Amino acid sequence: MSRPGRVSPRLLFLVPGGAALLLGLAAALELLGLDSPLRVDRLGELHAPLLVFGFVGTLIALERAVAARRWWGYGAPSALGLGSLSLLLPVPDAVGRSTVAVGFALLVALYTVIWQRQPATATAVQTLGAVSGLAAAILWLGGLGIPEILPGMSVFLILTISGERLELGRISPTVTKRVEAAGTALAITLTACVAAAPTLPVVGYPVLGAALLLLVAWAVRFDVATRLVRAAAQPRYMAWCLLAGYVWLVVAGAIWLAVGEPQGWMYDAVVHAVFLGFVMSMIMAHAPHILPAVLRITLPYRPFLYLPVVLLHVALAVRVAGDAREMLDLVRWGGLGNLVALLLFVVLAVATAVLGPPARRPEEADARPGLPT
């Protein structure tokens, strides 16, 4: 058993995910028409798989492997990370895509183990998220392009995060059986849209958008973030990250509902509203809880963690405004701001982990139970 404060060897499973993150960000520079420090063939077209499957997918799968406590479970983060990276190698695409699909199949198996141990609606919602990711990987392996599997990639992350929020809020009196039933129904609907949207776009995308808007309303109904915005320190930081993420999910849902299959600037807006505005904001919110549980690395809260969060959302607003007005300069500046925000968060997270817990103020150190402060 590792000593407290010692970095876990599980960190090795994040190496492919970290490489996928850096390559995905380099691909973003290329897509923005800016100079990229890396010159790799086909890097631009693999931007989304590298970040969604290779980076975020690896993080989620590693967390679930730790929770399930099964040695074979670590094959899930390994397959997702290495499978995504192998797409850049001179081997058939089917090798990388098949490996990603295996990673999702193992992730579904991990959720099955967790469900057998303790059945819960939160687990069911997250399992449907993993099934959506597996469906997206299979459709991708079958020859569909990234725009066609976007619903599956999105639902995978949306349901995973929504299930985690439900799990964290299970002690809240607002989480009733009716709330859980509604969440399960919405999760099933979104999962069905993974296949319906690319095959029946006229119906599938508006249903996807409507279900997503209802899911946001459902989540806000029980999520303690709506009350913790008036708290202090880390709880307020997390609450603002979460609520800002929900706003961007509303943007994506509204576009899908109003226009169906997004094209042109709307496609760019939907992609980045989901994966940057929602997913990355949620990662920034949950990092102080995830890292200690998975890697045994303490990530104390410090006010400077707000800097990348604010930059992320302001830059994304600039990018979407540039999309809507077809102003390439705004898109580039917004995209560059998003890249800086992500890298800045990594740097500041490492900094606060190295610095350790902040020193307690004198009045806090002197406080004793039962004595006035």
Mean pLDDT of the chain: 86
pLDDT of residue 361: 53
Take residue 216 and report the two structure tokens written for it. 């946001």
**Is the confidence at residue 111, as pLDDT, over 70?**
yes
Could you write out the DSSP letters of every residue in 258-284?
HHSS--THHHHHHHHIIIIIIIIHHHH
Please, which pLDDT band fits residue 172 given cuts at 50, 70 and 90?
low
pLDDT above 80 for 24: yes
pLDDT above 60 (res 7): no
| Band (88; pLDDT cuts 50, 70, 90) | very high
Q: Cα separation of 225 and 228, whole Å?
A: 5
Q: Which two tokens stand for residue 286?
A: 């949950």
The pTM of the whole model exceeds 0.85:
yes
- Give the pLDDT confidence of 262-277 residue by residue, as tens digits: 988 899 999 999 999 9
User: Mean pLDDT over residues 61-82, rounded?
Assistant: 92
Q: How many CB atoms lie within 10 A of CB 89?
A: 10
Query: Distance between CA atoms of 19 and 85, rounded to whole angstroms?
Result: 8
Q: Is the dihedral of CA 83, 291, 283, 34 positive or negative?
A: negative
Average the pLDDT over each of 122-136, 187-201, 280-294, 357-371 and give the range with the smallest value. Answer: 357-371
Q: Which residue has the higher pLDDT, 97 or 263?
A: 97
User: Is the Cα dihedral 161, 82, 92, 104 positive or negative?
Assistant: negative
**Cβ within 8 Å of residue 7, ≥6 positions away:** 295, 296, 297
Name every residue whose Cβ is closer than 8 Å to that of residue 64 and which is 6 or more positions away in sequence: 73, 76, 107, 110, 111, 114
Tens-digit pLDDT profile for residues 321-336: 998 888 889 999 999 9
